[in-house]
Structure formats: C-alpha cells, structure tokens
Amino acid sequence: MELMIGNTGILEERLGAMTEQLNDLITQIEQLIQDNAHHARSQEEYSERFEVLNNSIEEKKAEITSVKQQISDTLTRRENVRIFLEGLKGLDSIAERFDIPSWHSLVDCVKIMPDKNIVFHLRNGCEEIVPMGDVQ
C-alpha cells in the first residue's frame, strides 16, 4: 500500500526526460553563442533566438522544480501512510472505547469550522469532514 501511494516512478521518468530536454536547450544556446562569436550575424536575429532559447530554459527549469516538488510531496505522503499503518499495528481489534494512544496515532488535529462541520486531519494525510448538525 505504501508503495502504491508513494510510487514516484512515473514522475522520475518525467524528470529524467525534462532534464535531457533542458540539457539540449542549454547546448543549443551555447552553440548559438559560439556561432555568434565566430560569424557575422544579424544581432537582432541573434537576440531574438537567444531570448526564445533562454525563455525555454527558464520554463523547463520551472517544470523541473514542479516535478521535484511533486516527487517530494509523494514521498511525504508515503511516509505519512507508513506512520499511519504503524499506528494501526498497535490496534488488535476495532476499538470499543476511547483510547488516547490510538487517537494520537491516527489523528493529527481536529478543527471545528464556522459552517458547523468538524474536520479531522488524519496522520495518513487524509481529511474527514463530519457535519455537527444543529447544536443547541
């Protein structure tokens, strides 16, 4: 279960492909600079091409940063599931009474919202919303 939730394989493949694309763009811009240094070219044409390549490099860097963040978030979720499952191991059966250690192993925090809902943030990263109903 932890591996299914925290599988980063597809993201890591995307990251590898994006890194190759970034390296290709960097090579292109280096070749453009070399070509401009050794041959008389229109500086307007050079500047336009340089700007296009430079923008592509910046966009690719932003995409890489985003994928790295997704990988990090996925690994964090996997760790949260692991911690959650460790907490469940201590429970032999369905609880018949309130047990503080079990509560702390399962629930991260609880918020009572103005819309009369109770939001349980569980340690596995999930969130459960329970309507409070009309309280007198």
In this prediction, residues 32-45 reach a mean pLDDT of 90
- Token look-up 């250690």 returns 101
pLDDT of 136 strictly over 60: no
Domain range list for the chain: 2-89, 95-136
Q: For residues 65 and 19, give the distance between their C-alpha atoms in angstroms, rounded to a whole number.
A: 11
In terms of phi and psi (left: phi > 0; alpha: psi -120 to 50; beta: otherwise), the region of 74 is: alpha
Sign, CA torsion 51/56/57/58: positive
Q: Which residues of 30-67 are buried (b: 16+ CB within 10 A; e: fewer)?
A: eebeeebeeeeeeeeeeeebeeebeebbeebeeebeeb
What tens digit of pLDDT does each residue of 84-98 get? Answer: 767 666 665 555 666
The alpha carbon of residue 84 and the mean position of all alpha carbons in its chain are separated, in whole angstroms, by: 20
pTM: 0.63
Identify which of 99, 121, 103 has the alpha carbon closest to the alpha carbon of residue 112. Answer: 121
| Predicted local distance difference test score (pLDDT) of residue 3 | 53
